[in-house]
Amino acid sequence: MLDVSFILLVLVIVTAMLFDYINGFHDTANSIATCVSTRALSVKSAIFMSAGLNFIGAMVSTKVATTIGKGIADPTTITQTVILAGLIGAITWNLITWYYGIPSSSSHALIGGLVGSVIAHAGLNALIWTGLKKIVLSLIISPIIGTIFGFFFMVAIFWLFRKKNPHILNRNFRFLQILSASFMAFSHGTADAQKTMGIMTMALVSYGTLQTFEVPTWIKGSAAIAMALGTAAGGWRIIKTLGKDFVKLQPVHGFAAETSSAVVILGAASVGMPVSTTHVITSSILGVGLSKRISAVNWVVARRIVLAWIITIPASGFVGAVIYVLITQFLPS
């Protein structure tokens, strides 16, 4: 007789790795859009550099994984079907926004999808509101901090090098930008792969394989590999939106945006706060653009990005809830 629960566990692990893969090519733009747009690196070189550092970053810490895995709902009270439906909801929204080149947040999509499926399964009372408050506050505050960091870091660079020839300055910063893009790629792996690690570990606790919430090494390795492979697949649609359409960047601007973003992301990851890398890099680019002048920002693109941010959690949550209802028509809840 087939063990339906085990089959569901396998489906959850496979779907989580698929989400990580999609997250990789969906969020490739986070770390390389600026260095591609400024021609510091070719698209191919930037993507493979990012893939390798995404892998290394993903293996570093599990604090964010714990926040995601234990902060949304109690892993021992939800089912594999709930987790599977949440993942499918997140994947669906990621693919829609990737197709239209909108840099929405994979983190928001994952949280929204899981919240929707949990509510469909057991109602609002099944959510851990203190954990959700921490997660949502992290996602709201991080773009504000990213904008402020990007703005003032750019102003500081302009002041320090105000007497330098702009052409020579940008030529030198083109080399520095490779370092800042590497820093950003590492921080992206540290922050984003952990979210899927948390979901997979939640599934193992729910199934009973793990008695306590502790991320196994094979989970860390699987998530890191899946994200690195997805990153290697690239994501040119969103690279174009962030690196070319939003704000016209020179190497010095790319360096400021990437460095500011990486500092914010790694700082948040060190205390287990699950920020959105998409939001942080986009807001840092906005801050850098504002340091030039308000008209340097393409506000039409900015409105599209903000709209995607606002609707991502409810949209992926709705899809997650619908998927849960559909799945439970055929499988145990």
C-beta atoms surrounding 156 within 10 Å: 12
* Euclidean distance between CA atoms 236 and 23, whole angstroms: 14
Q: Which long-range contacts (CB under 8 A, 24 or more apart) does 325-329 make?
A: 325/120, 327/81, 327/84, 327/85, 328/81
Q: How confident is the model at residue 1 (pLDDT cuts 50, 70, 90)?
A: very low
* Of 170 and 325, more confident: 325
| Pairwise CA distance, residues 292 & 308, whole Å | 25
Q: What are phi and psi of 177, to 5 degrees?
A: -70, -30
In angstroms, the CA 186 to CA 2 distance is 41
Tell me the range of 31-35, 179-183, 236-240 where mean pLDDT is highest: 179-183
Identity of the amino acid at 171: R
Structural contact between residues 9 and 215, judged by C-beta atoms closer than 8 angstroms = no
The per-residue pLDDT for 285 is 82
For residues 58 and 220, give the distance between their C-alpha atoms in angstroms, rounded to a whole number. 7
Residue 252, token pair as written in the block: 């010095």
Mean pLDDT comparison of 28-32, 145-149, 235-239, 240-244, highest-scoring range? 145-149
Can you give the pLDDT at residue 234?
Answer: 61
What pTM does this model have? 0.80
32-41, 150-159, 321-330: which range is least confident on average? 32-41
Confidence band of 135 (pLDDT split at 50, 70, 90): confident
pLDDT tens-digit series, residues 18-72: 988 887 776 665 667 667 766 777 777 877 787 788 888 888 777 788 878 778 8
Q: How confident is the model at residue 271 (pLDDT cuts 50, 70, 90)?
A: confident
| CA gap 30, 188 in Å, rounded | 8
Is the alpha carbon torsion for 72, 76, 78, 80 positive or negative?
positive
Cα separation, 242 vs 172, whole angstroms? 23
Q: How many residues does the chain have?
A: 333
Q: What does the alpha-carbon distance between residue 83 and residue 206 come to, in Å, rounded to a whole number?
A: 10
Q: What is the pLDDT of residue 95?
A: 83
Give the pLDDT of residue 34: 67
Over pLDDT 90: what percentage of the chain? Answer: 16
Asked whether residue 118 carries a pLDDT value surpassing 90, the answer given is yes
User: Is 80 exceeded by the pLDDT of residue 223?
Assistant: yes
CA-to-CA dists, residue 217 to 11, 171, 197, 220, angstroms: 19, 42, 10, 5
Least trusted range by pLDDT, from 27-41, 137-151, 210-224, 262-276: 27-41
Share of the chain above pLDDT 70, in %: 88
User: What are the residues facing 73 on neighbouring strands?
Assistant: 127
> Who's near 11: CB < 8 A, 6+ residues apart?
80, 84
In the predicted model, is pLDDT for residue 245 greater than 70?
A: no
Position 171 confidence tier, pLDDT thresholds 50, 70, 90: confident
pLDDT(116) > 80? yes
At residue 212, the pLDDT reads 83
Confidence of residue 75 (pLDDT cuts 50, 70, 90): confident
Domain limits, the chain: 4-327
Q: What is the mean pLDDT of residues 198-203?
A: 88
Does pLDDT of 246 surpass 60? no
